[in-house]
Amino acid sequence: MSKSVGFKVPVSFVNKFTLPFFFVLLYGSGFVGAKLGLPHSTPLSFLSLRFITAGLMLLIIAKCFGNQLPSWREVIHISIAGSLTVCLFSVGVFVSIDMGLAPAISALIVALQPILVALLAQKMVNERLKLAQWFGLLFGFLGVIVVVIDSIETTYFSWIALGMSVLALLGVTFGSLYQKRHCADMDIFYGGAIQSVVSGLICLVLLPLFESFKIIWVDEFVISLVYMVVGVSLGALSLLYIMIKRGEVSKVASVFYLVPVSAAVSAYLLFGETIESTTLLGASIIALGIFLTNRKPRSIMAVSMNKE
């Protein structure tokens, strides 16, 4: 009995706290990392180089660990999920910010993802949320509004830029659901390699249609590229795949609410930007929302305790 308890507690702790914490830390700081590198590169140039580099690194890691290659059918599903979750999301965010949309507005649009996922998950992956969980999602979105409200600019912005952020929202939403439904057993390294390479190739195809290839190899760009490849593409996305595989996709999506908070803290550490009191208030509201969304009903908890 003591052995089973000793094993279960750490695994539960890792599933519920450690993985989401590091995902939010890496994913949120990625927005700031992109801000560091974008002045020295066009968006699609940056993304194509980032994705292809990450794909090759993941392929080497997969070869070293001797993991089994996916079948051609699995490759197709993995590619579709990656083109949505990785490529469309990143292109939408990068291009919208490059076109002048305030990062806070882009973050606010993308923060609709947990609610949109919860609505679609009922039909696509047969997930149902309790009333308290719906309140949790609403609390989380309210917290995001509180976090970004001071940063939202009221100046003129392009509707095209706004639309690109909406495309990013749709990409990460449908991509997460597709990943859960068709790629739940995906090998993390081979799957990540396929998704990264496919995303890089898509960016290379789109690049001459919208912009020219431009990269200025300065220290800021190199630091940004290394972090986006290692920290986000290898680290954060791998954690996201693990969380989608182990948990309900609507609950996993709720941690996205904390991404703007992580970005604000990273901007403070890297660029010296101030952290407003509203950021702390919003983070508290978001924490409450995530707690309500991921809280187990009492009946389920009772059954779990009886089994132990």
Residues 77-112: tens digit of each pLDDT: 999 999 999 999 999 988 887 787 767 677 777 777
Q: What is the pLDDT of residue 153?
A: 57
* 24 found inside a domain: yes
* 143 found inside a domain: yes
Computed over every residue of the chain, the mean pLDDT equals 79
pTM of the model: 0.76
* 258 found inside a domain: yes
**Which has more confidence, 280 or 165?**
165
* 59 found inside a domain: yes
272 φψ region: left (φ > 0), alpha (ψ -120 to 50), beta (else) = left
Q: What is the pLDDT of residue 16?
A: 60
Q: What is the pLDDT of residue 226?
A: 93
pLDDT reading at 170 higher than 70: yes
pLDDT tens, residue by residue, 221-233: 999 999 999 998 9
* 2 found inside a domain: no
* 1 found inside a domain: no
* 3 found inside a domain: no
* Domain count of the fold of the chain: 1
- Tokens 């929302």: give the residue: 289
pLDDT reading at 194 higher than 90: yes
For residue 25, give its domain range: 8-307
Amino acid at 183: C
